Amino acid sequence: MGSRNHEVVPTPLIQQIASLRSGSGVHKSISALAKIGLIAKVKNAKYDGYRLTYGGLDYLALHTHTKSGTIYSVGNQIGVGKESDIYVCAAPSGRNLVLKIHRLGRISFRTVKANRDYLRNRQSGSWMYMSRLAALKEYTFMQALRREGFPVPEPVSQNRHTVVMGLIDAFPLRQISSIPNPAELYAELMSMIVKFAQYGLIHGDFNEFNILVEEKTSPSTDGDESAPNVTLIPTVIDFPQMVSISHANAAYYFDRDVACIKRFFSRRFGFTSDEPGPFLAESTKKMVKRLDVEAEATGFSKKMAKELEGYMKEVGVDGDAAAVEGQEDEDGEEEREDEDEMNPGTEEEGYSDGHKEQDMEETNGVFNLTSGQQENDSREPVSLASQMTVLDIQDAENDPLPSLAELKPQLQSKPSKSTKSAKAKAGWAI
């Protein structure tokens, strides 16, 4: 509550919100939280107070998910980006899910001045509040798109800065080296951009990083078992930058989405369409529905959208499309492929099936979908759950946080640098 208007929450306000009696009990409780890294005291602050760390916010969100029965265990990290971390997780039933943790402004946090603590005179809120808005926005739009039949992951739950969604058994488009029919997939993706617009929305970051491609094979019509039919099914992910067609820069974002797909297909598959467009004005001549208006009615208001957009501009967040756009005239495609080969599945948003990516490491992170003869993963969904860490977050008489008496900070053996120097290098004012 206090972190919405304060980057550093004053100690008296913590005492008031937590309904703690004044005295040593307050400082003892705060000290216990600080020792395990859930909160941190900021040096050189104008008043005595603490800020919630990413670890503390993660703990609160996971506590809520486990309490509601959404998440039972958490597995490996399968994706990391500038604004989020992606983990595979499992429900109590054993169903494999994906946990996306928004960390808006993580890379550009050092650009936010330490003395800009109280947010009353700011147009946007703290990193914590904005990360929550990004998660709320993504979950809201995923629900709306899923209802209308768009190929998006199934939204399961949202709390604070986290979103839980279904696991997609697919590869990111950026990891695919060749496909049997580029024109068919290109047409499907362009139709998807147009369909978004006809429903009042523009993705805003529609590129090879945020498109998962699932391969399905079926027997050949001529009976040739050695050459089965391969069908590629795209799924769109990552929606925090989605905007309405009523946005002031709607045409720019629409054209950028189109240009990203055209550029990627030309460079990767050698395919160039001989048809211009599509264009926003033509795409919106026949509107189907206004999902942007529905999203406002379900809780994500225009005010929230404006706050989130302002903060994203402040910390320099503009998605993967901007990075790709900046390299349009540079010969950087080979370098990106080399990075993918060295670090497969570690860039922005690869929340496809993580264990499948690990099984295919011998292909150096770039997959060929022309043969249709990839090995299918025969493991049952529960096999992943058995390898995960069970979350042991207990309530004591309905207390919002469990007792910290038995919790101890983890000791690191011979760190290469001190915590203070590491945080100072990262730009943290602690």
Note the pLDDT tens digit of each residue in 212-264: 999 888 777 666 666 778 789 999 999 988 999 999 999 999 999 999 999 99
Do residues 370 and 225 both lie within one domain?
yes
Residue 416 has pLDDT above 70, yes or no: no
- SS3 label, residue 126: coil
Euclidean distance between CA atoms 214 and 87, whole angstroms: 19
Q: Locate 50 and state its tokens.
A: 């603490």
Question: Tokens 């900021």 label which residue?
Answer: 42
Neighbouring-strand partners of residue 407: none
- Upstream peptide bond of 153 is cis (omega within 30 degrees of 0): no
User: Within a domain: residue 269?
Assistant: yes
Is residue 270 over pLDDT 90?
A: yes
Mean pLDDT (the chain) is: 76
Number of domains in the chain: 2
Residue 129: count of CB within 10 angstroms of its CB: 22
User: Per-residue pLDDT for 116 more than 70?
Assistant: no
pLDDT attached to residue 391: 60
Asked whether residue 158 is domain-assigned, the answer is no
Q: Do 213 and 330 fall within a single domain?
A: yes
150 is a domain residue:
no
**How far is the CA of 175 from the CAs of 39, 166, 268, 323, in angstroms?**
39, 21, 10, 17
Q: Are residues 41 and 176 in the same domain?
A: no
Q: Where are the alpha helices (DSSP H) in 269-405?
A: 280-283, 291-297, 302-314, 319-326, 333-342, 354-359, 381-385
- My answer on whether 344 and 239 are in the same domain is yes
| Domain span including residue 229 | 171-349+359-375
> Mean pLDDT throughout 33-40?
91
Residue 407 has pLDDT above 80, yes or no: no
Regarding whether 428 and 304 lie in a shared domain, the answer is no
Report H helices in 76-222: 127-147, 182-198
* Residues 288 and 196 reside in one and the same domain: yes
Q: pLDDT higher for 275 or 297?
A: 275
Return the closest-CA partner of residue 209 out of 84, 120, 28, 376. 84
- CA distances (Å), 389 to each of 70, 88, 167, 367, in order? 15, 11, 18, 30
Residues linked to residue 98 through DSSP beta bridges, in sequence order: 88, 165
- How much is the average pLDDT of 87-106? 92
Out of 7-16, 102-111, 116-125, 377-386, the most confident range is: 7-16
How far, in Å, CA of 244 to CA of 196, rounded? 10
Per the domain annotation, does 210 fall within a domain?
Answer: yes
Q: Are residues 415 and 274 in the same domain?
A: no
- Over residues 331-355, mean pLDDT: 45
SS3 357: helix
- Predicted confidence at residue 63, as pLDDT, reads 95
Question: CATH number, domain at 284?
Answer: 1.10.510.10
- pLDDT at position 115, please? 32
Q: Is the pLDDT of residue 114 over 80?
A: no
Query: Is residue 110 over pLDDT 90?
Result: no
The three-class DSSP label of residue 75 is strand
Q: Is the pLDDT of residue 20 over 50?
A: yes
Place 79 in a pLDDT band, splitting at 50, 70 and 90.
Answer: confident
- The answer to whether the CB of 343 falls within 8 A of the CB of 174 is no
Span 373-382, average pLDDT: 42
Whether residue 86 lies inside any domain: the answer is no
The residue assigned the tokens 């160039």 is 272
Has residue 128 been placed in a domain?
no
Whether 255 and 304 map to the same domain: the answer is yes
CATH of the domain at 8: 1.10.10
Give the tens place of pLDDT for each residue, 163-206: 999 999 999 999 999 998 999 999 999 999 999 999 999 999 99
Residues 243 and 329 in one domain: yes
Number of other residues whose CB lies within 10 A of the CB of residue 104: 27
What is the rounded distance in angstroms from the CA atom of residue 50 to the CA atom of residue 38?
10
120 located within any domain: no
% the chain with pLDDT above 70:
64
pLDDT tier at 335 (50, 70, 90 boundaries)? very low
CA distances 115 to 43, 86, 112, 230, 428, Å, are: 11, 31, 9, 57, 12
Q: Cβ neighbours of residue 309 under 8 Å, at least 6 residues apart?
A: none
Return the amino acid letter for 6.
H
pLDDT at 361 over 50: no
Helices (H), 269-301: 280-283, 291-297
Question: Would 139 be classed as within a structural domain?
Answer: no
Q: Are residues 334 and 427 in the same domain?
A: no
Does 286 lie in the same domain as 213? Answer: yes
Per-residue CA distances from 33 to 8, 27, 128, 402 (Å): 15, 10, 18, 11
Secondary structure (H, E, C), 312-336: HHHCCCCHHHHHHHHCCCCCCHHHH
| pLDDT of 215 | 87
400 and 274 within one domain: no
Q: Which residues pair with 50 in a beta bridge?
A: 9, 41
pLDDT at 279 over 90: yes
Which residue numbers are catalytic? 205
